[in-house]
């Protein structure tokens, strides 16, 4: 049960990073505390951070689904 809550927390946090980043147009990659990239100033790093957060979200959801099935 604890693992399910951990994976659920990761998925929720990754979704929050994505929504917050797109709303403010400043994306922060999960686990990178010093990196905040603006869509206007550094669009390539903004999109790389967005893709990274999306991959974390997808992997968290896949791990959650796999854990719930067991």
CA 32 to chain centre: 11
Of 38, 13, 15, the C-alpha closest to 26 is: 38
Q: Is 32 helix (H, G, I), strand (E, B) or coil?
A: coil
Q: Is residue 50 pLDDT above 90, yes or no?
A: yes
Q: Is residue 70 pLDDT above 90, yes or no?
A: no
Q: How confident is the model at residue 21 (pLDDT cuts 50, 70, 90)?
A: very high
Task: Tell me the pTM.
Answer: 0.85
Beta-bridge partners for 26: 38
What region does 26 belong to: left with phi over 0, alpha with psi -120 to 50, or beta? beta
Number of domains in the chain: 1
Host domain of residue 30 = 2-69
Angle of CA points 43, 21, 16, to nearest 5°: 150
């Amino acid at each position: 049960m604890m693992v399910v809550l951990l994976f659920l927390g990761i998925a929720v946090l990754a979704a929050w990073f994505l929504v917050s980043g797109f709303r403010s147009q400043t994306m922060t990659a999960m686990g990178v505390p010093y990196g905040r990239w603006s869509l206007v100033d550094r669009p390539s790093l903004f999109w790389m951070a967005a893709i990274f957060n999306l991959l974390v979200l997808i992997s968290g959801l896949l791990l959650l689904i796999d854990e719930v099935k067991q």
